[in-house]
Amino acid sequence: MKLQLALDTLSLKQCLDLVEKVKDTVDIVEIGTPVLLEYGLWAVREMKGRFPDLEVLADAKIMDAGEYEASQCFEAGADYVTVLGVSHDTTISGVVSAARKYNRKVMVDMIDVHDLRQRTIEVDRLGVDVICVHTAFDLQSSGANPLAELEIILSVLENAKAGVAGGVKLSTLGAIARLKPSIIVVGGGITNQADPIQAAKTMKARMNHESA
């Protein structure tokens, strides 16, 4: 089970400084969509160049021009790229094609997919690596969490691995980790804490305990 650190609300310097402190605890560093919007793929290049031993995910949330946009991310050094589950199958297949060319990986973000069970079955046949449920940021204040959605995709997955993102915090981590998804994505649960380094260590320890 991998811990993915989502970097969304920090400056690039803050991102790099934080990863320097938690590089031995996290497994995947996510260059979040807001950071990509502000700094472009330069942020991916900087992160991968500074931390070549960590996996880097570009949260591009691709929805069109799949192969072309994914290729740009992979050329910048991304190990993973995200494509939206609501995208056309052809777009997702294009992202997969680029990933195979560069020997990298595809995470499908299932945010706002209405028939999650059926779409998971469909996407799982396209050769993607990870299918990730995602509670939208704008819904997290209502108390929504991705646990129930994770149970749905785990019940039908045959090929891809499962990921979970959106509002994951220490109080909900145990229940999620007990379902043993391959990737757990944590953003504010680490970056917004008074001691983000200790928060990351505590979360990783909880994940290891639950998966033992």
**Tens digits of residue pLDDT in 171-182:** 889 999 999 999
CA–CA separation, 180 and 175 (whole Å): 9
CA distance between the termini of the chain: 10
User: Domain map of the chain by residue range?
Assistant: 2-211
Pairing of strands 105-109, 80-84: parallel
Q: What is the pLDDT of residues 38-96, one digit of tens each?
A: 999 999 999 999 999 999 999 999 999 999 999 999 999 999 999 999 999 999 999 99
The residue behind tokens 């993102």 is 165
pLDDT of residue 33: 97
**Backbone φ/ψ region at 26: left (φ over 0), alpha (ψ -120 to 50), beta:** beta
What is the pTM (predicted TM-score) of this model?
0.95
- Supply the mean pLDDT for the chain: 94
Secondary-structure class of domain 2-211 per CATH: alpha beta
